[in-house]
A and B are shown apart, each in its own frame.
Chain A
Amino acid sequence: MGKNGTGKKKKRHKNREILLVSYFFVFLFLGMMTYICVYVYQNQEVMINNSYNAGQQILVAQNRRGSIMARGGEVLAETITQADGSEIRRYPYDSLFSHVVGYSTKGKTGIEDKMNYYLIQSNAPLNEKMDNGMKDRKNPGDNVYTTLDVKMQEAANRALGIYEGAIVASDPKTGEVLAMVSKPDFNPNEISEIWEEVLEDDESGLLLNRASQGLYPPGSTFKIVTALEYIHENPSTYTDYSFTCNGSIKIDGSRIQCYHGTNHGKVDFERSFAKSCNTSFANMGTKVDRSSFDKTLDKLLFGKALPFDLESSVSTVKVKQDMTAEEQMQIAIGQGETLVTPLHMNLITCAIANDGILQQPYVVDHVENSNGAVLKRFSSPGTTEMMTQQEAYILQGLMREVVETGTATRLQGCPYTAAGKTGSAEYNSDRDSHAWFTGYAPAEDPQICVTVIIEGAGSGGDYAVPIARRVFDAYFDAADGEN
């Protein structure tokens, strides 16, 4: 193509117009051909995954669906060809990975859905494919390796027990998701049998991955955000903050109460956070600048799609220019119309633990062909700066204090040091609340971030913290075992 320049020299003046038009069309076509190649190459994955594409069926008929593995190589999902030639998809861990791995009959969810493109392809060696072709056998599909840790998943699942709720555990430094549990769960091996039942039951939300799709009022865990905004606006004077808590606050006729009406007395900034003093934070909420708050929320990914492979919901906070004092106070303590996903809370915690930078999460590590050759590696899709390093340091200190002297004292006396924030989010007028905890450990060198929500259990300090502790324990036990 590079020779066109010399071609032009031979241009005869007489036929300049014809040559011009010819060259125009030649270039147009070269452009079009390049475009076609580039377009097809770039969009192949998206197109094959589209349910309107008949190509899927063609691949499914040729290849046996690949397996999904945990980080240790344990099989989470595999396809088995039975004696009569029919295929079944088997999930050896039954309900343990039900939401995150998902299912592939009756539609597709979770990793089964997102990695469908790779699972239905086969990059088996050519001689093996040829052999299979001769014997009329299907080719083995490519296998997907996840970042999920079976031990962590089991620990989280056991810790959550009979409660409904969700747990997310991830590595703040790499963005790897280690465990993702959502309850109630289901057994994907029996999805066909329970399908009718599931469809009729629209209350429990059995198929919903609460960890990434469940939207909950954040309650006091949102005070992390309010505190960040206050520090952001008053970087040098926030330590001078002081407030006297009488158990409740009343501004413009609306009243905010501390949890169970507790009277916290005179509190400074650190104490307000550690004791999760609603009235103090409501007071703070009326003082922050709204447009600045808006920007902070924006940086923290509120109202935006989370950078994550699997389906996730968008968290929302409604900050308007003309808000009543009540709305301001409600937002500051994470009540009102504010809704977040446990995954999102986990990401904010990760960013704090990682000195302000969010290493975006991922759950699929790499894809291998049936012979174990790596075809494609995935890593964290990127980083997002959620806050400055300085602000992250301050929040780390605040969260450490929550464990030391505040609402998460049940995390004391462990072989590791933890930091975090509790929350008790009221979700109805009867003052029933979801128990939250989001935190990380070790405080000096964070390796794991855990976010827990338990639906309707009560206070975060009493219910969510012990569960988070079991997850931390499992992580550090395993780490000790390795050393």
Chain B
Amino acid sequence: MAIYTYESFSVFRFREEKRRKGIYTRQVILLFFVHFTCFLTICIKTGELQYLFFYAFQQLAVFAALVLFELCYPAVNRLILHNMCMLLVIGFVTLTRLDMRLAVRQFVIVLMSMAVAMAIPYVMRRLKDLKNYSWLYALVGTLPLLTVLLLGNTTYGSKLSYSIFGISFQPSEFIKIVFVFFIASALYKSAGLLQVAYVTAVAGSHVLLLVASRDLGSALIFFVVYVLMVFLATRNFWYLLLGVGGGCGASVIAYRLFRHVQVRVQAWKDPWSVIDGEGYQITQSLFSLGRGGLFGLGLFQGAPGDIPKVERDFIFSAVSEEMGLIVALCVIMVSLSCFIMFMNISMRLKDRFYQLAAFGMGILYIFQVFLTIGGDTKFIPLTGVTLPLVSYGGSSIMTTLIMFSIIEGLYIIRQDEGAVNVKKKSKAAGGRQKAGRTEAERAGEGEGDKNEESPFGEEWDGKEKETP
């Protein structure tokens, strides 16, 4: 029996790899196939039919999301959409395996978020003057953070959330988006010293508020987004250097000031010596990774529950243990492909404001992925942020979904832009398209949006070959 599961796992994992190259329909089929196989395994292993019902609901929801998005927005970027659903599905499966109750809650939140997300591209097309509210973004950004600092609930030594009507929110998650919009709106016209100073002041207050509420992971994300966006807006390497230098300085100060930063660095440097205390989480995560091997132990065969807070910060280890390192690396690559697509969209956007926004979101997303996976695998010290779309966490998942749909919105706007200057664009992009097409043809891709793959086509291919 074990062998059978093992075999079935390895088979569809390899096919999932190819999914990336294949046509989008094949992506969808594989998406459903992965989803179905995982739940079938769960049902066989547990012998409980309730999982099957849950699966049916999930399947319907994912299907509805795919169809509705495509119906409402024919111009939608399907790669991002599919990647999003793939990550959600992996998240559902893992959460179902870890804790059915959490999975159901997650599912409800996702449904709600999807509904919100669905409307976003439409709204964005209508609201042409999004770019003019920088002071509003600043206010909307800082005020909730201040509220959290003053009134928030304390969990694990950090003030992260506050509750309204019994539902707890983690505002720092939502504010990430507002923050990106703020920087974009403040810098899109010109990026003179004055604007930069203004942005720095507001960004600084965000970061300091987060630091004051001991949410250092988020503070770091905000900071990196700020530095890189300023760098893009000014095209000035000195800002980048200054930012990196300032970041290093700040880390040293944070290390001195906060005990729990010291604890985490210690647990990162040598977790084995403090395995009973600070290092417990990270060592359990490493065990989990090690146990899984390439193909994983199979759902319900491992012991990912041994890792404290596995459903949030360590979901990557849980995926890796039971579904195998190959799947885990696929998750990384799917995330990375989202990021590259974000960057692509950002590059194509003519409007400076939208370009900055897309860029900011991309950084936001990928840096968070980096922090959590790097933390889980002892690549960097643990920061305690979630893996977007996969981890459990209402605010996190809602934010990420909104973010993805904003990107979709930007993508659609870009195509509107394109429609206006069809001739101009096709001329400029001619050379690239050619490269993109050969790439796509080699990969056996007959249709789809070719030009968007172009600058990274080569990389795509390289990465695909790396894992199997």
- Chain A residues close to B by CB (< 8 Å): 1-4, 6-7, 10-12, 15-19, 21-22, 25-26, 28-30, 32-33, 35-37, 39-40, 43-44, 47-48, 50, 52-55, 57-58, 62, 126, 129-130, 133-134
Check A10 against B454 for contact (C-beta < 8 Å): yes
Known: A1-B463, A40-B290. A58 touches B370 (CB 8 A): no
CB proximity to A under 8 Å, residues B413-468: 431-432, 435, 454-459, 461-463, 465-466
Known: A37-B325, A53-B291. A22 touches B339 (CB 8 A): yes
B289 within 8 A of partner (CB): yes
Please indicate the chain A residues that have their CB under 8 angstroms from the CB of B466 in the complex: 1, 30, 33
Known A1-B463, A21-B343; 6 more pairs at CB < 8 Å: A10-B432, A21-B363, A29-B332, A32-B374, A52-B287, A133-B4
- A11 and B275 alpha carbons, distance in the complex (Å): 47
Check A33 against B332 for contact (C-beta < 8 Å): yes
Please indicate the chain B residues that have their CB under 8 angstroms from the CB of A18 in the complex: 232, 343, 346-347, 359
Partner of B459, one of A7, A48, A57: A7
B3 within 8 A of partner (CB): yes
Please indicate the chain B residues that have their CB under 8 angstroms from the CB of A62 in the complex: 2
- A53 and B292 alpha carbons, distance in the complex (Å): 12
CB proximity to A under 8 Å, residues B311-342: 325, 328-329, 332-333, 336, 339-340
CB proximity to A under 8 Å, residues B264-294: 272, 275, 280, 283-284, 286-287, 289-291, 293
Check B302 against A33 for contact (C-beta < 8 Å): no
Closest approach, in angstroms, between the C-beta of A63 and any C-beta of chain B?
Answer: 11
Known: A37-B325, A52-B275. A58 touches B297 (CB 8 A): yes
Check A58 against B301 for contact (C-beta < 8 Å): yes
- A48 and B2 alpha carbons, distance in the complex (Å): 20
Please indicate the chain A residues that have their CB under 8 angstroms from the CB of B329 in the complex: 33, 36-37
Query: In this complex, what residue of A is CB-closest to B287?
Result: A53
Closest approach, in angstroms, between the C-beta of A86 and any C-beta of chain B?
Answer: 22
Q: Is the interface of B mostly helix, strand, loop or mixed?
A: helix
Closest approach, in angstroms, between the C-beta of A27 and any C-beta of chain B?
Answer: 10
Closest approach, in angstroms, between the C-beta of B70 and any C-beta of chain A?
Answer: 27
- A4 and B465 alpha carbons, distance in the complex (Å): 13
B1 within 8 A of partner (CB): yes
Please indicate the chain B residues that have their CB under 8 angstroms from the CB of A32 in the complex: 332, 370, 373-374, 377, 379
B303 within 8 A of partner (CB): yes
Q: Is the interface of A mostly helix, strand, loop or mixed?
A: helix
In which size bucket is the chain B interface? 35 or more
B231 within 8 A of partner (CB): yes
- A40 and B286 alpha carbons, distance in the complex (Å): 8
- A48 and B374 alpha carbons, distance in the complex (Å): 21
Please indicate the chain A residues that have their CB under 8 angstroms from the CB of B99 in the complex: none
Query: In this complex, what residue of A is CB-closest to B234?
Result: A17
Known: A18-B343, A54-B303. A48 touches B370 (CB 8 A): no
CB proximity to A under 8 Å, residues B1-55: 1-4
Please indicate the chain A residues that have their CB under 8 angstroms from the CB of B231 in the complex: 17, 21
Check B336 against A39 for contact (C-beta < 8 Å): no
B235 within 8 A of partner (CB): yes
Closest approach, in angstroms, between the C-beta of A341 and any C-beta of chain B?
Answer: 25
- A33 and B316 alpha carbons, distance in the complex (Å): 13
Check B303 against A30 for contact (C-beta < 8 Å): no
Check B287 against A26 for contact (C-beta < 8 Å): no
Please indicate the chain B residues that have their CB under 8 angstroms from the CB of A12 in the complex: 347, 455
Closest approach, in angstroms, between the C-beta of A18 and any C-beta of chain B?
Answer: 5
Check A22 against B340 for contact (C-beta < 8 Å): yes
- A37 and B290 alpha carbons, distance in the complex (Å): 10
Partner of B379, one of A2, A11, A35, A47: A35
Check B306 against A54 for contact (C-beta < 8 Å): yes
- A26 and B332 alpha carbons, distance in the complex (Å): 11
- A147 and B379 alpha carbons, distance in the complex (Å): 39
- A234 and B396 alpha carbons, distance in the complex (Å): 75
A sample of 17 cross-chain residue pairs with beta-carbon separation below 8 angstroms, ordered by A number, consists of A1-B462, A3-B458, A3-B459, A3-B462, A10-B431, A18-B232, A18-B343, A29-B366, A29-B370, A36-B379, A40-B289, A40-B290, A40-B325, A47-B291, A54-B291, A58-B291, A58-B297
Please indicate the chain A residues that have their CB under 8 angstroms from the CB of B4 in the complex: 133
For the complex of A and B, list the 9 residue pairs with the smallest distance between their C-beta atoms, beginning with the closest.
Answer: A7-B458, A54-B303, A55-B291, A47-B290, A53-B287, A22-B343, A1-B462, A15-B347, A3-B458
Please indicate the chain B residues that have their CB under 8 angstroms from the CB of A58 in the complex: 291, 297, 301-303
Partner of B290, one of A3, A11, A55: A55
Closest approach, in angstroms, between the C-beta of B5 and any C-beta of chain A?
Answer: 10
Query: In this complex, what residue of B is CB-closest to A53?
Result: B287
B138 within 8 A of partner (CB): no
B228 within 8 A of partner (CB): yes
Q: Which of A10, A17, A28, A54 has the most CB of B within 10 A?
A: A17
Closest approach, in angstroms, between the C-beta of B331 and any C-beta of chain A?
Answer: 11
Please indicate the chain A residues that have their CB under 8 angstroms from the CB of B332 in the complex: 29, 32-33
Check B336 against A26 for contact (C-beta < 8 Å): yes
Closest approach, in angstroms, between the C-beta of B25 and any C-beta of chain A?
Answer: 27
Partner of A55, one of B303, B370, B374: B303
